[in-house]
Structure 1
């Protein structure tokens, strides 16, 4: 069970990190466009 959970976390974490990075990037770009 523990090994399976570790593998699942190892596989899911990069995808979640990518989505969060894209979300923050979009918000940052939009805020730059609005404030500049």
Structure 2
């Protein structure tokens, strides 16, 4: 059970990082 939870957390973190990266890129595009 714990292993599955850890996998879920890793997936959620990966998605969150992707969102932050996309947001950062969009902000940079607006700046220039």
Which residues of structure 1 form unaligned runs of 5+? none
TM superposition score normalised by structure 1: 0.64
**How many positions carry a matched residue from both structures?**
31
Q: Which 10-residue stretch deviates more, 8-17 or 22-31?
A: 8-17
Structure exhibiting the larger radius of gyration computed from Cα positions: 1
- Runs of 4+ with deviation above 4 angstroms: none
Which residues of structure 2 form unaligned runs of 5+? none
Tell me the CA shift for residue 16 of structure 1.
Answer: 0.4
TM superposition score normalised by structure 2: 0.69
The root-mean-square deviation of aligned C-alpha atoms, in Å, is: 1.4
